[in-house]
């Protein structure tokens, strides 16, 4: 649950010109993760977690991301957003032990991915070097009761460029074994990002309910009212919904193979006490 | 002179036929395949930080040019030496710039300029050992542990075996036959497996035949020449012991070769358990070497010579395996070892059959026990 509802708003201060400055500290490090009973995988992480910290800011804020590479391989942080080329995290590999400061303005409004951009890219991404970057509009999005981050991905255990397991927030079946507890009438907002390597398309399906969908989160007006959406790699969006009835409701990729290989979770809905 | 001319007539006619073929553009048989037939052998893969070096050989009919190389679905930059097309049977080293990661598996896809794909793979990437003094010392140590040491340990059974009667002696000889047959089968199987990876011009099965039959016939011829010179029983036994150790030596050369090449690639399983298994299995080889000598008192110098002949080639084998890149050579060495151990088994068979046709069950159980012994100790190292 730590990743699901954990937002890093940075260290906030005010610049001489009156703008808000947010500072974040990110370290790439290796972490051994038990992805299935007794199956351990060497993940490459930002701050010891996959997905990495959910970096959150408001449109127009100045961001400073202090990135240090504590692994044996070069890495970068490549943000989707609008920024100068030198801050794009592609041609400036951060060597083992070295640091780099990414500095840019938070733009545009929406939910975006960030990830490592070092060759071979498929390896660096599938190992776990990705995370979510949220830019709120000035004044924020409409108030909801709870906000969650879900990053869809896969795990290639045998390095044959094909996923063996699938998940949201990296651990297969995690929200299936630990259902997300919510109340009737609670308004939920999910920031959904697809970082799946090797497979062309991922999807999200919500059981016994419909949601408002904001592709990329760049608009405050929903583009669709549906119960299933698809995303290619790096596509993302915002889902808003609430449940009317108590019960257990699945959410999963509507690609049965992915769902049965780990990309499955449950909302457990109860009466508000 | 007339003989020479008679011999030359068919050759002259052959020249005429070839000329006719060339002049008439194949005499109506000039049929080109729809797609070019190309063939590439991957002979060696070396990994160093940030790069992967492939040694490839063109085993097809025509010169080959490399189009592009993809490693795990990524088109990689590479350099080829020597540059340009690779002639038939020619080799080239291709160095890919690729930041491989320790322990990961890689599938490498090479497309020739004619768009014919060839693949090879790395099961678990690890740094290839450099060719240095310490690597050679490491090889020597491995050879000592898996070859020399166990053979000498086996030889230390001599005083104990000397207390046994003539029936036990025959049984021991039969056991040695069993050991040798098993080693021979094992070597042939391994040679066949390696031969399967060779391109067709190398004619792997033919190489195995040449290697195995040559070793067999040569040892046989040597033994017949020696037998004519000297034939009292003590020298016959010593001669047999010498040939057993030569045969086992050739076998250990092949074994060392396999370990050496695996060690160079970082694929060798040299855990404690594995090395202990090798010592256990090869102790039985020492036992085989001294079996013909239990009824006599060989000098220590002679025993030392037998041990070195039987175990020493393991060291040479590890060097060859580590340094020589030609897989065809491994096939030849394995086949030589197989031919040698089988010839020695054949020789001992003749020797005990002459003396002990009265002990059929002793011989039968000895052979089966010998094979079973290697099968069981094989569990530890396979
Ligand atoms: Cu990276």
Three-class secondary structure of residue A137 per DSSP: coil
Mean per-residue pLDDT over chain B, rounded: 83
Are A16 and A131 members of one domain? yes
Task: Yes or no: say if B66 and B90 are a contact pair by the CB < 8 Å rule.
Answer: no
What is the C-alpha separation between A62 and A55, in angstroms, rounded? Answer: 13
User: Given CB atoms, is B49 within the 8 Å cutoff of chain A?
Assistant: no
Task: State yes or no: pLDDT of B170 exceeds 90.
Answer: no
* CA end-to-end distance (rounded Å), chain B: 62
Ramachandran class of A128: left when φ > 0, alpha when ψ lies in -120 to 50, beta otherwise: left
Average pLDDT over residues B349-363: 76
Chain B, window 164-183: residues with a beta carbon less than 8 angstroms from a chain A beta carbon: none
Q: How far is the CA of A46 from the centre of ligand 1 (A)?
A: 10
**pLDDT score at A171:** 95
- C-alpha neighbours within 13 Å on the C-beta side of residue B289: 31
- When pLDDT is cut at 50, 70 and 90, the band that residue A137 belongs to is very high
DSSP state for residue A200 in the 8-state scheme:
S
Same structural domain for residues A96 and A177? no
CA distance B335 to B213: 8
Closest by alpha carbon to B109, among B157, B170, B40? B40
Residues A73 and A106 occupy one common structural domain: yes
What is the predicted pLDDT for the residue at B168? 79
**A:B CB pairs within 8 Å:** 29
Considering only residues 154 to 193 of chain A, which have any Cβ-Cβ distance to chain B shorter than 8 Å? 158-161
Contact A108, A135 (CB under 8 A): yes
A67 domain residue, yes or no: yes
Whether A86 is covered by a domain: the verdict is yes
Task: Please determine, for residue A1, whether its predicted confidence score (pLDDT) is greater than 50.
Answer: no
What's the longest Cα–Cα distance across chain A? 54
Coil, helix or strand at residue A51: coil
**What are the structure tokens assigned to A61, written together?**
């804020």
Are A164 and A64 within one domain? no
Query: How far apart are alpha carbons B147 and B299 in whole angstroms?
Result: 22
Domain boundary at A136, A163, A193, which? A136
Q: Are residues A192 and A127 in the same domain?
A: no
CB-based burial label for B179 (10 Å; 0-12, 13-18, 19+): buried
Distance from C-alpha of B190 to C-alpha of B211, rounded to nearest angstrom: 13
Q: Where are the alpha helices (DSSP H) in B29-68?
A: none
- Quick: pLDDT tens for B255-308: 788 777 777 766 665 566 666 777 777 787 787 888 888 777 878 888 888 888
Question: CA-CA distance, A100 to B201, in Å (whole number)?
Answer: 55
**CB of B104 less than 8 A from some CB of A:** yes
Instruction: Please check whether residues A159 and A105 belong to one and the same domain.
Output: no
In this structure, are A132 and A152 located in the same domain? no
What 3-state class would DSSP assign to B143? helix
ipTM for the complex? 0.78
Q: Which of B69, B68, B122 is nearest to B100 (CA)?
A: B122
CATH number of the domain encompassing residue A114: 2.60.40.420
Same domain as A64, residue A105: yes
**Which domain range does residue A67 map to?**
2-136
Residues 109-128 of A with CB under 8 A from B: 118-123
Q: What is the share, in percent, of chain B residues with pLDDT greater than 70?
A: 90
Give yes or no for B105 touching A (CB within 8 A).
yes
My answer on whether A103 and A192 are in the same domain is no
Q: In Å, how far are A93, A111, A129, A143, A266 from A206, measured between CA atoms?
A: 39, 20, 27, 22, 9
Q: Quote the pTM value.
A: 0.80
For B115: left if phi > 0, alpha if psi spans -120 to 50, otherwise beta; the answer is: left
Residues of A in contact with B103 (CB under 8 A): 42
Note the pLDDT tens digit of each residue in A11-54: 999 999 999 999 999 999 999 999 988 899 999 999 999 999 99
- How is residue B361 written in tokens? 């069950």
Check residue B229 and give its pLDDT.
61
A122 CA from centroid of ligand 1 (Å):
9
Question: Do A159 and A59 share a domain, yes or no?
Answer: no
pLDDT of residue B169 exceeding 80: no
Could you tell me if A135 and A112 are in contact, meaning their C-beta atoms sit under 8 angstroms apart? yes
Q: Find out whether the peptide bond into B97 is cis, omega within 30 degrees of 0.
A: no
Where is the domain boundary, A118, A136, A154? A136
Q: Tokens 């067709």 identify what position?
A: B200
* Contact (CB<8Å) B105/A123: no
Which residues are CB-neighbours of A260 under 8 A, at least 6 positions away?
none
The two tokens of residue A25 are 């500290």
Q: Is the pLDDT of residue B163 over 60?
A: yes
- Which of B131-135, B150-154, B162-166, B350-354 has maximum average pLDDT? B150-154
Residue A129 and residue A172 in one domain? no
Longest dimension (CA), chain B: 81
Any domain includes A169: yes
Q: Are A56 and A7 in contact (CB under 8 A)?
A: yes
User: Which residues in B lie closer than 8 A to residue A123 (C-beta atoms)?
Assistant: 72, 101, 104
Report the domain count for chain A: 2
Q: Estimate to the nearest angstrom the gap between the alpha carbon of B234 and the chain centroid.
A: 33
| CA atoms of A19 and A104, how far apart (whole Å) | 12
Q: How much distance in Å is there from the Cα of B13 to the middle of ligand 1?
A: 70
User: Inter-chain contact B98–A120, Cβ cutoff 8 Å?
Assistant: yes
């340009």: which residue's tokens?
Answer: B84
Could you tell me if residue A99 is inside a domain?
Answer: yes
Q: How far apart are CA B276 and CA B296, in angstroms?
A: 31
Q: What is the dihedral of CA B206, B212, B218, B221, to 10 degrees?
A: -110
Within 8 A of A74 by CB-CB distance, chain B residues are: 99
Find the mean pLDDT for residues A156-164: 92
- Is residue A168 domain-shared with residue A254, that is, in the same domain? yes
Q: What residues of chain A lie within 8 A of the CB of B106, using their CB? A: 159
Q: Residues A201, A255: contact at Cβ < 8 Å? A: yes
In a domain, A141, yes or no: no
Q: What confidence score (pLDDT) does residue B233 get?
A: 67
Task: Please state, as a whole number, how many other Cβ atoms lie within 10 Å of the Cβ of residue A98.
Answer: 13
Residue B347 pLDDT level (bands cut at 50, 70, 90): confident
In the three-class reduction of DSSP (H, G, I as helix; E, B as strand; rest coil), residue B107 is classed as strand
- For A180-200, the pLDDT digits (tens) are 999 999 999 999 999 999 999
SS3 A21: strand
Highest mean pLDDT among A196-205, B8-17, B228-237: A196-205
CA–CA dist B112, B78 (Å, integer): 14
Domain boundary among A105, A136, A167: A136
Place of tokens 């011829």: B221
Q: For residue B121, give how far its alpha carbon lies from the nearest alpha carbon of chain A (Å).
A: 10
């Amino acid at each position: 649950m730590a990743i699901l509802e954990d937002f890093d708003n940075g260290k906030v201060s005010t610049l001489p010109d009156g703008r808000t400055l947010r500072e974040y500290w990110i370290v790439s490090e290796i972490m051994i993760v038990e992805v299935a009973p007794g199956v351990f995988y060497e993940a490459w992480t930002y701050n010891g977690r996959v997905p990495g910290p959910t970096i959150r800011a408001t449109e127009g804020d100045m961001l400073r991301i202090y990135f240090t590479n504590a692994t044996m391989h070069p890495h970068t942080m490549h943000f989707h957003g609008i920024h100068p080329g030198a801050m794009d995290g592609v041609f400036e590999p951060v060597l083992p032990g070295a640091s780099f400061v990414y500095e840019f303005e938070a733009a545009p409004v929406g939910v975006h991915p960030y990830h490592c951009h070092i060759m071979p890219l498929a390896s660096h991404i599938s190992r776990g070097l990705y995370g979510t970057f949220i830019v709120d509009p000035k004044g924020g999005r409409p108030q909801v009761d709870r906000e969650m981050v879900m990053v869809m991905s896969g795990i290639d255990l045998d390095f044959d460029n094909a996923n063996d397991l699938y998940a949201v927030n990296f651990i297969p079946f995690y929200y299936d074994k630990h259902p997300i507890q919510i109340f009737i009438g609670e308004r939920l907002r999910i920031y959904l990002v697809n970082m799946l390597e090797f497979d062309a398309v991922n999807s999200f399906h919500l059981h016994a309910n419909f949601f408002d969908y904001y592709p990329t989160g760049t608009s405050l007006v929903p583009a669709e009212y549906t119960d299933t959406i698809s995303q290619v790699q790096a596509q993302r969006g915002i889902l808003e919904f609430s449940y009317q009835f108590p019960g257990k409701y699945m959410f999963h990729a509507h690609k049965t193979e992915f769902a049965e290989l780990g990309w499955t979770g449950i909302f457990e809905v109860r009466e508000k006490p | 002179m007339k003989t020479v001319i008679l011999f030359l007539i068919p050759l002259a006619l052959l020249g005429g036929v070839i000329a006719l073929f060339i002049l008439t553009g194949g005499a109506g048989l000039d049929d080109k395949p729809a797609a070019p037939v190309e063939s590439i052998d991957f002979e060696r893969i070396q990994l160093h930080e940030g790069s992967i070096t492939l040694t490839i050989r063109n085993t097809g009919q025509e010169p080959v040019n490399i189009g592009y190389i993809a490693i795990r679905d990524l088109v990689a930059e590479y350099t080829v030496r020597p540059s340009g097309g690779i002639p038939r049977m020619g080799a080239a080293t291709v160095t890919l710039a690729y930041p491989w990661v320790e322990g990961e598996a890689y599938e490498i896809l090479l497309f020739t300029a004619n768009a014919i794909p060839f693949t090879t793979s790395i099961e678990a990437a690890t740094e290839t050992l450099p060719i240095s003094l310490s690597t050679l010392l490491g090889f020597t140590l491995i050879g000592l542990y898996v070859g020399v040491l166990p053979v000498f340990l086996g030889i230390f059974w001599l005083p104990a075996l000397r207390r046994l009667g003539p029936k036990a002696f025959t049984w021991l000889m039969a056991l040695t036959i069993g050991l040798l047959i098993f080693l021979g089968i094992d070597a042939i199987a391994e040679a066949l497996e390696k031969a399967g990876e060779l391109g067709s011009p190398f004619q792997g099965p033919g190489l195995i035949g040449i290697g195995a039959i040559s070793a067999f016939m040569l040892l046989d011829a040597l033994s017949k020449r020696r037998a004519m010179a000297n034939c009292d029983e003590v020298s016959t036994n010593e001669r047999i012991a010498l040939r057993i150790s030569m045969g086992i030596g050739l076998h250990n050369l092949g074994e060392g070769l396999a370990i050496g090449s695996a060690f160079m690639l970082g694929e060798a399983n040299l855990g404690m358990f594995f090395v202990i298994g090798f010592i256990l299995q090869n102790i039985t080889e020492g036992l085989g070497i001294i079996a013909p000598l239990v009824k006599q008192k060989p000098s220590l110098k002679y025993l030392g010579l037998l041990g070195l002949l039987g175990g020493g080639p393991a060291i040479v084998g590890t060097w060859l395996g580590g340094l020589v890149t030609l897989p065809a050579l491994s096939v030849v060495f394995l086949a030589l070892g197989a031919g040698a151990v089988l010839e020695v088994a054949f020789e001992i068979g003749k020797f005990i059959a002459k003396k002990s046709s009265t002990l059929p069950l002793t011989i039968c159980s000895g052979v089966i026990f010998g094979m079973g012994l290697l099968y069981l100790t094989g569990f530890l190292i396979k």
